[in-house]
Amino acid sequence: MVWPRYIAYFVGISLLTWLLTQLEISFPGSLKLHVIMNPSDQFGTSEFSPIEIIQPIILAACGLHMLWVAEYCPSQRPIAIPFGGLALAFMIRELDYFFDRYLLDNFWQVLVGIAAAFVIVYTYRARKRLKIAWARIWPSPGLALLFAGAVIMFSFVRLVGHEPLWMSLLGDDYRRVVKIAVEEFIELLGYFLWFIGSIEYTYQARAIAYKEPVPLAKRLREQRRRLKSGKF
Protein backbone atom coordinates (compact mmCIF):
# COMPACT_ATOMS: atom_id res chain seq x y z
CA MET A 1 0.00 0.00 0.00
CA VAL A 2 1.13 3.51 -0.82
CA TRP A 3 -0.48 5.46 2.02
CA PRO A 4 1.71 4.09 4.86
CA ARG A 5 4.81 5.22 2.94
CA TYR A 6 3.48 8.74 2.44
CA ILE A 7 2.49 8.98 6.09
CA ALA A 8 6.03 7.87 6.98
CA TYR A 9 7.46 10.54 4.64
CA PHE A 10 5.34 13.23 6.31
CA VAL A 11 6.21 12.14 9.84
CA GLY A 12 9.92 11.69 9.06
CA ILE A 13 10.38 15.08 7.36
CA SER A 14 8.30 16.89 9.98
CA LEU A 15 10.22 15.27 12.84
CA LEU A 16 13.66 15.99 11.36
CA THR A 17 12.74 19.60 10.57
CA TRP A 18 11.33 20.05 14.07
CA LEU A 19 14.51 18.66 15.60
CA LEU A 20 16.69 21.03 13.57
CA THR A 21 14.62 24.09 14.45
CA GLN A 22 14.33 23.17 18.12
CA LEU A 23 18.07 22.54 18.28
CA GLU A 24 18.75 26.13 17.27
CA ILE A 25 16.02 27.54 19.52
CA SER A 26 17.21 25.61 22.57
CA PHE A 27 20.92 26.08 21.89
CA PRO A 28 21.49 29.26 19.85
CA GLY A 29 24.25 28.84 17.32
CA SER A 30 24.12 25.03 17.35
CA LEU A 31 23.13 24.87 13.66
CA LYS A 32 26.52 26.47 12.86
CA LEU A 33 25.24 28.36 9.84
CA HIS A 34 27.88 31.06 10.23
CA VAL A 35 31.24 29.75 11.44
CA ILE A 36 34.38 31.89 11.21
CA MET A 37 37.33 29.57 10.61
CA ASN A 38 40.08 32.19 10.87
CA PRO A 39 40.40 35.96 11.51
CA SER A 40 40.88 36.72 7.80
CA ASP A 41 37.63 34.95 6.88
CA GLN A 42 35.10 37.66 6.00
CA PHE A 43 32.11 35.49 5.09
CA GLY A 44 32.39 32.41 7.30
CA THR A 45 31.03 29.02 6.35
CA SER A 46 27.98 26.86 7.00
CA GLU A 47 29.60 23.62 5.86
CA PHE A 48 29.79 22.27 9.42
CA SER A 49 26.06 22.75 9.96
CA PRO A 50 23.91 19.66 10.66
CA ILE A 51 21.78 20.77 7.70
CA GLU A 52 24.78 20.71 5.37
CA ILE A 53 25.84 17.31 6.72
CA ILE A 54 22.38 15.81 6.17
CA GLN A 55 22.27 16.93 2.52
CA PRO A 56 25.09 14.72 1.11
CA ILE A 57 23.76 11.79 3.16
CA ILE A 58 20.38 12.18 1.43
CA LEU A 59 22.10 12.42 -1.95
CA ALA A 60 24.12 9.27 -1.24
CA ALA A 61 20.88 7.44 -0.39
CA CYS A 62 19.32 8.67 -3.66
CA GLY A 63 22.36 7.45 -5.59
CA LEU A 64 22.16 4.02 -3.95
CA HIS A 65 18.50 3.72 -4.94
CA MET A 66 19.38 4.53 -8.55
CA LEU A 67 22.25 2.05 -8.44
CA TRP A 68 19.83 -0.65 -7.26
CA VAL A 69 17.40 0.16 -10.08
CA ALA A 70 20.21 0.07 -12.66
CA GLU A 71 21.33 -3.33 -11.37
CA TYR A 72 18.02 -5.12 -10.89
CA CYS A 73 15.61 -3.31 -13.24
CA PRO A 74 17.38 -3.35 -16.64
CA SER A 75 14.50 -1.72 -18.52
CA GLN A 76 14.83 1.39 -16.30
CA ARG A 77 18.63 1.55 -16.43
CA PRO A 78 18.69 4.41 -19.03
CA ILE A 79 16.81 6.60 -16.53
CA ALA A 80 18.41 5.41 -13.30
CA ILE A 81 22.03 5.90 -14.39
CA PRO A 82 21.67 9.62 -15.34
CA PHE A 83 19.77 10.37 -12.13
CA GLY A 84 22.43 8.51 -10.15
CA GLY A 85 25.11 10.55 -11.90
CA LEU A 86 23.29 13.77 -11.01
CA ALA A 87 23.06 12.68 -7.37
CA LEU A 88 26.81 12.05 -7.40
CA ALA A 89 27.50 15.47 -8.95
CA PHE A 90 25.28 17.18 -6.36
CA MET A 91 27.00 15.30 -3.53
CA ILE A 92 30.44 16.37 -4.75
CA ARG A 93 29.19 19.95 -5.00
CA GLU A 94 27.90 19.82 -1.43
CA LEU A 95 31.32 18.65 -0.25
CA ASP A 96 33.26 21.30 -2.18
CA TYR A 97 34.45 23.07 0.97
CA PHE A 98 36.12 19.92 2.30
CA PHE A 99 37.70 19.12 -1.09
CA ASP A 100 39.14 22.65 -1.20
CA ARG A 101 40.29 22.65 2.41
CA TYR A 102 41.63 19.13 2.88
CA LEU A 103 42.44 17.84 -0.61
CA LEU A 104 43.07 20.23 -3.51
CA ASP A 105 41.64 23.63 -4.29
CA ASN A 106 38.89 23.49 -6.97
CA PHE A 107 39.43 19.74 -7.43
CA TRP A 108 35.70 19.25 -6.82
CA GLN A 109 35.01 21.11 -10.07
CA VAL A 110 36.99 18.48 -11.99
CA LEU A 111 35.00 15.69 -10.33
CA VAL A 112 31.68 17.41 -11.04
CA GLY A 113 32.77 17.91 -14.65
CA ILE A 114 33.58 14.22 -15.00
CA ALA A 115 30.23 13.19 -13.52
CA ALA A 116 28.33 15.68 -15.69
CA ALA A 117 30.19 14.58 -18.83
CA PHE A 118 29.36 10.95 -18.06
CA VAL A 119 25.66 11.79 -17.65
CA ILE A 120 25.56 13.77 -20.90
CA VAL A 121 27.44 11.16 -22.96
CA TYR A 122 25.47 8.23 -21.53
CA THR A 123 22.13 10.00 -22.03
CA TYR A 124 23.00 10.81 -25.63
CA ARG A 125 24.17 7.28 -26.44
CA ALA A 126 21.17 5.67 -24.72
CA ARG A 127 18.61 8.20 -25.97
CA LYS A 128 16.51 5.58 -27.80
CA ARG A 129 16.40 3.24 -24.80
CA LEU A 130 15.73 6.28 -22.62
CA LYS A 131 12.58 7.09 -24.61
CA ILE A 132 11.39 3.49 -24.27
CA ALA A 133 12.12 3.42 -20.52
CA TRP A 134 10.33 6.74 -20.07
CA ALA A 135 7.27 5.51 -21.97
CA ARG A 136 7.11 2.41 -19.77
CA ILE A 137 7.10 4.29 -16.48
CA TRP A 138 5.38 7.62 -17.20
CA PRO A 139 3.23 8.96 -15.55
CA SER A 140 5.41 8.44 -12.51
CA PRO A 141 4.97 10.04 -9.06
CA GLY A 142 8.62 9.29 -8.31
CA LEU A 143 9.94 11.11 -11.39
CA ALA A 144 7.54 13.99 -10.75
CA LEU A 145 9.00 14.41 -7.25
CA LEU A 146 12.54 14.19 -8.64
CA PHE A 147 11.65 16.93 -11.12
CA ALA A 148 10.13 19.09 -8.35
CA GLY A 149 13.25 18.67 -6.24
CA ALA A 150 15.45 19.60 -9.21
CA VAL A 151 13.40 22.78 -9.82
CA ILE A 152 13.94 23.82 -6.20
CA MET A 153 17.67 23.07 -6.22
CA PHE A 154 18.51 24.37 -9.69
CA SER A 155 16.29 27.43 -9.86
CA PHE A 156 14.18 28.40 -6.85
CA VAL A 157 16.84 28.28 -4.15
CA ARG A 158 19.34 30.14 -6.37
CA LEU A 159 16.90 33.01 -6.92
CA VAL A 160 15.48 33.21 -3.40
CA GLY A 161 18.92 32.77 -1.84
CA HIS A 162 20.45 35.54 -3.96
CA GLU A 163 22.34 37.83 -1.59
CA PRO A 164 21.32 41.18 -3.21
CA LEU A 165 17.67 40.21 -2.62
CA TRP A 166 18.19 39.90 1.13
CA MET A 167 20.35 43.02 1.27
CA SER A 168 17.48 44.90 -0.38
CA LEU A 169 14.83 43.37 1.92
CA LEU A 170 16.69 43.86 5.20
CA GLY A 171 18.58 47.05 4.40
CA ASP A 172 20.69 48.19 7.33
CA ASP A 173 19.53 45.13 9.33
CA TYR A 174 21.01 42.71 6.80
CA ARG A 175 22.83 39.74 8.31
CA ARG A 176 24.25 37.07 6.06
CA VAL A 177 23.24 34.26 8.40
CA VAL A 178 19.57 35.01 7.70
CA LYS A 179 20.10 34.59 3.98
CA ILE A 180 22.08 31.36 4.54
CA ALA A 181 19.42 29.90 6.85
CA VAL A 182 16.63 30.48 4.32
CA GLU A 183 18.77 29.13 1.48
CA GLU A 184 19.85 25.97 3.30
CA PHE A 185 16.39 25.07 4.58
CA ILE A 186 14.88 25.50 1.11
CA GLU A 187 17.70 23.42 -0.35
CA LEU A 188 17.05 20.74 2.27
CA LEU A 189 13.41 20.68 1.15
CA GLY A 190 14.55 20.01 -2.42
CA TYR A 191 16.70 17.11 -1.23
CA PHE A 192 13.78 15.72 0.77
CA LEU A 193 11.72 15.65 -2.44
CA TRP A 194 14.59 13.94 -4.25
CA PHE A 195 14.80 11.32 -1.52
CA ILE A 196 11.07 10.58 -1.62
CA GLY A 197 11.11 10.62 -5.42
CA SER A 198 13.99 8.13 -5.57
CA ILE A 199 12.16 5.75 -3.21
CA GLU A 200 8.90 5.96 -5.17
CA TYR A 201 10.73 5.58 -8.47
CA THR A 202 12.48 2.47 -7.12
CA TYR A 203 9.15 0.92 -6.10
CA GLN A 204 7.67 1.63 -9.52
CA ALA A 205 10.72 0.35 -11.41
CA ARG A 206 10.68 -2.81 -9.30
CA ALA A 207 7.00 -3.38 -10.10
CA ILE A 208 7.70 -2.98 -13.82
CA ALA A 209 10.64 -5.38 -13.65
CA TYR A 210 8.50 -8.06 -11.99
CA LYS A 211 5.81 -7.68 -14.64
CA GLU A 212 8.23 -8.08 -17.53
CA PRO A 213 8.74 -11.61 -18.88
CA VAL A 214 12.12 -13.07 -18.02
CA PRO A 215 14.07 -14.09 -21.16
CA LEU A 216 14.80 -17.80 -21.55
CA ALA A 217 18.56 -17.24 -21.57
CA LYS A 218 18.39 -15.42 -18.24
CA ARG A 219 16.23 -18.14 -16.69
CA LEU A 220 18.66 -20.82 -17.82
CA ARG A 221 21.63 -18.82 -16.52
CA GLU A 222 20.00 -18.42 -13.11
CA GLN A 223 19.12 -22.10 -13.05
CA ARG A 224 22.75 -23.05 -13.76
CA ARG A 225 23.90 -20.76 -10.97
CA ARG A 226 21.53 -22.40 -8.51
CA LEU A 227 22.62 -25.87 -9.54
CA LYS A 228 26.30 -24.89 -9.29
CA SER A 229 25.86 -23.34 -5.86
CA GLY A 230 23.99 -26.41 -4.68
CA LYS A 231 27.02 -28.64 -5.27
CA PHE A 232 29.04 -27.00 -2.50
Domains of the chain: which residue ranges? 46-214
Determine contact, residues 161/177, Cβ cutoff 8 Å: no
How far apart, in whole angstroms, are the C-alpha atoms of residue 128 and residue 131?
5
What is the predicted pLDDT for the residue at 232? 46
Q: Is 45 helix (H, G, I), strand (E, B) or coil?
A: strand
Report the C-alpha gap between 210 and 165 in whole angstroms.
50
Q: CA triplet 85, 91, 92: central angle to 5 degrees? A: 90
**pLDDT value at position 103?**
78
Residue 193: its pLDDT value, please?
A: 92
Query: Which residues are CB-neighbours of 123 under 8 A, at least 6 positions away?
Result: 78, 82, 130
Cα distances (angstroms) measured from residue 232 to each of 110, 158, 190, 225, 227: 47, 58, 49, 12, 10
The pLDDT, as a whole number, for residue 16 is: 93
Report d(CA 197, CA 202) in Å as an integer. 8
Contact indicator for 118, 85 with CB cutoff of 8 Å = yes
Q: What was the pLDDT predicted at 220?
A: 59
Neighbours of 182 (CB within 10 A): 15
| pLDDT of amino acid 19 | 93
pTM for this one? 0.81
- 35: three-class secondary structure by DSSP: strand
Q: Mean pLDDT for each 10-residue chunk of the chain (232 residues)?
A: 85 93 88 74 73 90 91 87 89 83 81 89 88 86 90 87 87 84 90 92 85 57 66 48
